[in-house]
Structure 1
Amino acid sequence: MSGSVEVRQFLLRYDGTDAGTSGYGGVPAQRGGQADASRISDDQVRRARLAVAQGALGAEDCAELLDMLGLVPDDDGRLPVQR
């Protein structure tokens, strides 16, 4: 992937945490109830951002993909994907 350093720097602006993966071998645990069935966790957002960054061609491509997927915070600091 070209521009991987740029992509990592871009992601660090949006994700300052460096949390480890949860679940067994990085596989998320099954959700328990209907109430939180549509809730997307912060860890899922982090992993989605990393997956986008790995497939992006550069920082600009990564930014566009993250925005299209709702993974960039809005003016209130909330992610559209978590509303």
Structure 2
Amino acid sequence: MIWETSEAEEWIDKEKELYFYSNLEALMAEKGLSIAELSERTGVAQSTIRSLIRGRLKRLDSISTGKLTQFFQCKLDELYAMKWE
């Protein structure tokens, strides 16, 4: 979707910040994977996986995100949910 600048400005709530929440824990549970197993199979550091599971993020790491979406064969919006807070 391409927005004109004025449309994007209306959509963005300047008093709030956009956070990303990971659905990673649910995806891991479906495959019966531990953090260590997922790290080994994807090359994503265990500390990164823990951070994704624990809480909200202000930005996404494109390399880790790419590896995880490829591994789970899912789209970005299936891996992360966005919320203004």
Asked if TM exceeds 0.5, the reply is: no
TM-score normalised by the chain length of structure 1: 0.29
Bigger relative contact order (CA 8 A; separation at least 6): 2
Flag the structure with higher strand content: 2
Flag the structure with higher helix content: 2
Q: Which structure has the larger Rg over C-alpha atoms? A: 2
